Amino acid sequence: MSVLVGKPAPTFNASAVVNGQVVEDFSLDQFKGSKYVVLFFYPKDFTFVCPTELHAFQDSIAEFESRDVAVIGCSTDTEMSHWGWLQVPRNKGGIEGVSYPLVADTNKTIAADYDVLVGDYAIDEFGELIVEGELIAYRGLFLIDKEGIVQHQLVNNLPLGRSIKEALRMVDALQHFEENGEVCPMDWEKGSEGMNATHESTAAYLAKG
């Protein structure tokens, strides 16, 4: 598994569905210099755990937007599959109402670049593609700063849903560090005291506990 933290986020151009409309040339580049990005991968459209996550991001979209964060979902389904799932009501297992971009990684290249692609593939001596397992995405999540650098990544196996609260906490921690120059200790939450990154200040902080 590649660690992308501290490195430029792999860029891409792909089809996406944005607020119910198909966009042919969607790119991360549009956010560079202006917004943070939470890019999350999910395994498949029309499944069970995935809609709980997609709806949770939508339900918290105002929280992300208030922090200047663009939320972007991505799976290896086509843009038409995304669009079709958006037509299905929430109470019937669909994702109707999701407005943030859903990227179509149809060629699997985006998931491969972020190293969240499930399954193995190779070209044999006859030039034929050999695939083992389904080429879908793990539940990867990447927090990208305004300079396009990955600051946090999390990758869950397929059955394990993520925490929206933790994603927001990571955004808050990054912004606290950027604004105050203070690092954030374990279980830090917005409004809590940070730590100066010196031996003396850290020792004083720990002495309080």
pLDDT-derived band at 129 (thresholds 50, 70, 90) equals: low
Assess if residue 5 is contained within a domain. no
Cα dihedral 25→31→33→36 (10° resolution): -150
Is residue 53 included in any domain, yes or no? yes
Q: Render pLDDT for 29-47 as a digit per residue (tens, 0 to 9).
A: 999 999 999 999 999 999 9
- Report if residue 143 sits inside a domain: yes
| 160/183 Cα distance (integer angstroms) | 29
CATH of the domain at 26: 3.40.30.10
Residue 106, domain extent: 13-162
Same domain membership, residue 21 and residue 64:
yes
C-alpha R_g of the chain: 19
Which of 87-91, 106-110, 117-121, 126-130 bottoms out in mean pLDDT, i.e. has the lowest? Answer: 126-130
Helix axes 49-59, 164-180, angle to 10 degrees: 40
* pTM for this predicted structure: 0.89
Burial per residue of 23-48, b for 16 or more beta-carbon CB atoms within 10 angstroms, e otherwise: beebebeebbeebbbbbbbbbbbeee
200 has a pLDDT exceeding 50? no
pLDDT in tens, 6-20: 999 999 999 999 999
- Cα(12)–Cα(6) distance, rounded to whole angstroms? 18
| 155 and 193 co-located in one domain | no
Active site residues: 50
In whole angstroms, what is the distance from residue 72 CA to residue 76 CA? Answer: 14
With beta carbons less than 8 A apart as the criterion, state whether 175 and 38 touch. no
Instruction: Give 54-82 as a 3 state SS string.
Output: HHHHHHCHHHHHHCCEEEEEEECCCHHHH
Q: Is 135:108 a contact under the CB 8 Å cutoff?
A: yes
Q: Give yes or no for residue 140 having a pLDDT over 60.
A: yes
